[in-house]
Structures are given as structure tokens and as C-alpha cells.
Structure 1
Amino acid sequence: MLAAVAGVLAARGYENTRFTDVSAASGVAISTLQNYFGSREDMVVEAMEVFTDREVEALTAVASAEPDPWRRLVALMDRSLHNSESTRQVLVEFWRSAMRDDDLRDYSAEVQTRYRAPFLAAVREGGERGEFTLAHDAETVTDFLLSALAGLIVSRVQHHPTPSPAAFRDILLTQLRLMLGVTERTSRIRTDRGT
């Protein structure tokens, strides 16, 4: 049911996601949806919370699979760059809704902390190992990267002219190398060797 709610949310937006739409998308009776969720708002909020939790879990899984800090950052960035259109739409709806709802705003801050954690851990770990020579503190580097990724999501959802994911990736990698003191040659050698 929650996947159906997220699909409708992506297509119709927070304000226009109704029990009837979710019923049509899921095949679950309206009365069952009302019984389970209570209100339309509760249904939409629960779907957004479950959806964003799954996104954080996916990033955590990506981070856990890669021991090298540079390759981990690249893998985390790639995961974010290649989200589906519906994932991007749900994320924008979540951010937009959180601006107006105190409970969602608090939840959004908690989600942001968890979403940011694997990026920040990779930057810190690379610095501690001496693999990165940070031009800025780890928090600033992480915030820059996440702001760039979020900005691209918003632009892509609004169908503004944006660079391709590959071109945007190249730009971000160039900036990350500068901020982390990693040469392109070193990062390529480490990636090619799997070290």
C-alpha cells in the first residue's frame, strides 16, 4: 500500500494524493485505507517517512559495501545521481511538505542527519587515514556535495535544463578531488586496482 501511496504522491503531489487515487493504484478498498491510516494526511506522511527511511537504508548499504573512503564517496554520489524520476519526485514532495509541517520538519532534520552520515563518515575516514588532504573541514565538504546533489534533484524534477548525470558527476568529482586533495590519477589508480 505504501508503495502505491508513494507512486501517487510522485505523480500527483502531496495536496492531490487522495484515498481514491491510492485505491485505484493499489487495488485496496478506500474503506480499508481509511481504516488503516485514519486520515489522508496520515497516509501521505507515513508513506513519505517509510520512503525516506528506505533511501537512507539504501545509502547505508552502499557505504557498508565499500571500505575505501574515496570509492565509497563515489558510490554514494552515484547512488544519488541515478535515482529514478519517481524517487526524485517523492523527495521533492517530502522537502516541500516539511517546510509547512512542524512534525515533518523535525522528521526531515532527523532524516537529513542519517542521510548525511555515510558521506560525512567517508570524508572523515579518508582524512584520518591520510588519504585526503582536506582543503575544508569534513562537514563543509559533505554539505557542499549534498547541496549539489539536492539542487540537481530539484532541477531535474522541474525539467529545467541540467547537465547529464555523467557530466554532472564529472564536475562533482573534480570539485571533490580539489576539496579532498585527491589527484585524478591517484583516484583512478585506486579505483582501477580496487584499493
Structure 2
Amino acid sequence: MKMPAEKRTRRAGGGKRLGVLDTAVEVLSDRGYESTRFADVAAASGTAVSTLQNYFGSREDMLIEALQRSTNQEVEALEALAAAQASPWEQLVALIDRSLGNSEQTQRMLVEFWRSAMRDVELREHSEQVQRGYREPFLRAIQEGCDQGLFHMKHSPEDVVDFLLTFLAGVTIPRVLHQDRPAEKTLRDLLLSQMSVTLGRET
């Protein structure tokens, strides 16, 4: 039986504390999880190391909470973006555009999050929650398209979403490594063309 991870204690600090968490993500994206110290975040945020220790207790707790906050914000942004679109196809295009167009810092943060989740039980459990939240607006758009008779697929909505998210995660790696890859517009055009065919979209 899988035992839930013991939750870390969260401490007070208000708006200043949230600002520190955002700064911690920026530092972590540049330096990496293992190399980010209290001193680095203190220097970048203008906050004393003793204050950070009071807020978070340990370096690990600070970084884990920062990653959780940042990934939750990304899920919330996707939900808001999908809600602002008129049709299922427009929802999918907007979600794909955001995923492909995220800043390099955000993509580096996601890579650090995935790496850290392999070793930390609490982050791994959070990654499962994030994956469900990230998946939901894509799945909802495809299901709505099917219900409205706009999409005629040979595969289940769940399988199509899993394929799409696997692709979007995969293109993150060459970007953060600065490897050769198709131009952003070419990549977008290829993906949207493939999705249109996979969905059996009526045009």
C-alpha cells in the first residue's frame, strides 16, 4: 500500500514570503536544485538568510514549496486561458501556444521540478496532482469537441491528450539544452496540423 508523504510544515510570512518563493524559482532555474542555497535566494530577494530560515526552516523546504507554487500557477494559467476561448479547437490552440511559448526560465523550472520529483516523495505526489491539473483543460476541450460533433477521432480523448502532453514535455529538453530543433513556428504548424488530423477535425 502506498503511504502518503509526510507534509512539510509551512510557516508564516505573508506577501513578502510569496515574493521570496517566486525569487527562489528564478534562482533555482538558473543554478539548479542542488546548487541553490539560502545565500543565493537571500542575495536575489534582498532578504536576510535568518529571515528565510524563519520562513521555511530548511533550504529543501523552501525550494520544494517554491516548485509547488510555480507549478500550481502554471496549471491555473492554463485553466484561465482555456476558459477565455470560444470553441474547443481555439481552446486547444491557445493551450498548445502557451505550452510551446513558455519562457526558457519556466521550462528550466519544469525540468528541475521533474528531476527533483524523482527523488522527493512529496514532490512526486505533487507532480501527479500537477499532471492531472495540467491535463484537464486539454481533455475537456477535446471531449467538448467530440460532444459538439466537431471532432471525429479514432482514438480515445485520454490517449490523444497523453500523446499531446508527451510531445509538449519532450520538446522542452532540446530547448533548455540549446540543441538544434525546428523553429518555433515550424514546430507549432507541424503540431497543429497533426492534431487536426488526429482529432478528425471538421474545417
Name the TM-score class by shorter chain. Answer: over 0.9
Where do 4+ consecutive residues of structure 1 move more than 4 Å? none
| Letter paired with 1:102 | V
| Letter paired with 2:55 | Y
Aligned pairs for 1:102-141 (under 5 A) are 102-141=121-160
Show the counterpart of 2:97: 78
Deviation of 1:77 (Å): 0.3
Kept in 2, the 8 Å contact 1:135–1:178? The answer is no
Deviation of 1:103 (Å): 1.2
1:3 aligns with 2:6: no
* Equivalent-residue separation in structure 1 for 2:56 and 2:183 (angstroms): 39
* Equivalent-residue separation in structure 2 for 1:64 and 1:172 (angstroms): 22
**Size of the alignment, in residue pairs?**
184
Which of 133, 146, 168 is the matching residue for 2:187? 168
Structure 1 regions of 5+ residues with no counterpart?
187-195
Aligned pairs for 1:36-55 (under 5 A) are 36-55=55-74
Which of 8, 12, 23 is the matching residue for 2:31? 12
Show the counterpart of 1:150: 169
Kept in 2, the 8 Å contact 1:69–1:122? The answer is yes
Higher helix residue share: 1
Kept in 2, the 8 Å contact 1:10–1:86? The answer is yes
Show the counterpart of 2:11: none
Q: Structure 1 length normalisation: TM-score?
A: 0.92
What is the CA deviation profile of residues 93-139 of structure 1, one whole-angstrom value per residue up to 9, with x for unaligned ones? Answer: 00111011111111100110000000000011101111000121101
What SS does structure 2 have at the residue aligned with 1:92?
Answer: helix
* Equivalent-residue separation in structure 2 for 1:94 and 1:145 (angstroms): 20
* Equivalent-residue separation in structure 2 for 1:171 and 1:96 (angstroms): 28
The sequence identity of aligned pairs, in percent, is 56
Show the counterpart of 1:91: 110
Kept in 2, the 8 Å contact 1:63–1:76? The answer is yes
1:100 aligns with 2:148: no
Q: Structure 2 length normalisation: TM-score?
A: 0.89
